[in-house]
Amino acid sequence: MKTRVWMSVLGVLICGVSVGIFRTAALGVDPFQSLMSGLNALVPLRFGTLYLLANAALLLFSLVLDRRKLGLATLINLTLLGYVAEFSEALLAQLLGRPALVGRLGLLAAALVLMCLGAAFYFNADLGVSTYDALSLIASERQTRVPFRFCRVASDLACVAAAALCFRIAGQPWSAVAAAIGPATLLTAFCMGPLISFFSGLLPDPCGKRR
């Protein structure tokens, strides 16, 4: 159990750092983080606090609908990831300033690899999923009977659309929109699954799921 807890904590920390790197690269983030960025443009709160509040609201829905997908890792994700992302972005801003395009592309590649590595730690620990992941799983298994991949695509598209709307309501320029919804958004959609599977095969499997 101790190994699984540490794998969950390490996975969330790595994912949080990757979100900070994505935001520094300003070439887009994954769909849910794009929504968080859009809400952050509307709501004058620290990003970490806003992330916690938004996920707490999703947690309530998941508790009502099906709490079996939730676990210790869900709470670790809820309380840590947003603040780690906020700290990482601030630290990189001090160290790197405003990197050129080549540097931003390098940051994008590093962020993608780190996010998938962190997710592999998190999934192999098998102590619950994030509140955002839980909603799609619950919708697929208990509410709609629609395959998970379609529920996830629908939720991702809804996040991106809502993010763009939040940015426009907040009067943000299109450059701000592009920093949250850009090439990285598509890249994560197509590359995360294969990379997470690759890293999961390399990392410890404390639950014996591969046997």
Using one digit for the tens of pLDDT, what is the confidence trace for 159-182? 889 998 999 899 888 877 887 888
Tokens of 187: 């890249």
Report the pLDDT value the prediction gives residue 169, as an integer from 0 to 100.
Answer: 92
Asked whether residue 210 is domain-assigned, the answer is no
Domain that holds residue 134: 2-202
Residue 191 has pLDDT above 80, yes or no: no
Report the pLDDT value the prediction gives residue 133, as an integer from 0 to 100.
Answer: 80
Asked whether residue 19 is domain-assigned, the answer is yes
> How many domains does the chain fold into?
1
Report the pLDDT value the prediction gives residue 208, as an integer from 0 to 100.
Answer: 63
More confident residue, 96 or 175: 96
pLDDT band with cut points at 50, 70 and 90 for residue 89: very high
pTM of the model: 0.82
pLDDT band with cut points at 50, 70 and 90 for residue 194: confident
Q: Where are the alpha helices (DSSP H) in 69-182?
A: 72-96, 101-125, 131-138, 148-169, 174-180
pLDDT band with cut points at 50, 70 and 90 for residue 190: confident
Residue 211 has pLDDT above 50, yes or no: no
What is 22-90 written as a DSSP string?
HHHHTS---HHHHHHHHHHHHS-S-HHHHHHHHHHHHHHHHHHH-GGG--HHHHHHHHHHHHHHHHHHH
Residue 84 has pLDDT above 90, yes or no: yes
Report the pLDDT value the prediction gives residue 114, as an integer from 0 to 100.
Answer: 93
For residue range 104-132, what is the model confidence (pLDDT) as tens digits?
A: 999 999 999 998 898 888 888 888 878 88
For residue range 8-46, what is the model confidence (pLDDT) as tens digits?
A: 999 999 999 999 999 999 898 888 889 999 999 998 888
Asked whether residue 159 is domain-assigned, the answer is yes
H or E, element range at 184: helix 183-202
Asked whether residue 67 is domain-assigned, the answer is yes
Report the pLDDT value the prediction gives residue 144, as an integer from 0 to 100.
Answer: 61
pLDDT band with cut points at 50, 70 and 90 for residue 66: confident
For residue range 132-158, what is the model confidence (pLDDT) as tens digits?
A: 888 887 887 765 677 877 787 888 888
With beta carbons less than 8 A apart as the criterion, state whether 177 and 164 touch: yes
Short-list 88, 201, 79, CA closest to 128: 79
Asked whether residue 208 is domain-assigned, the answer is no
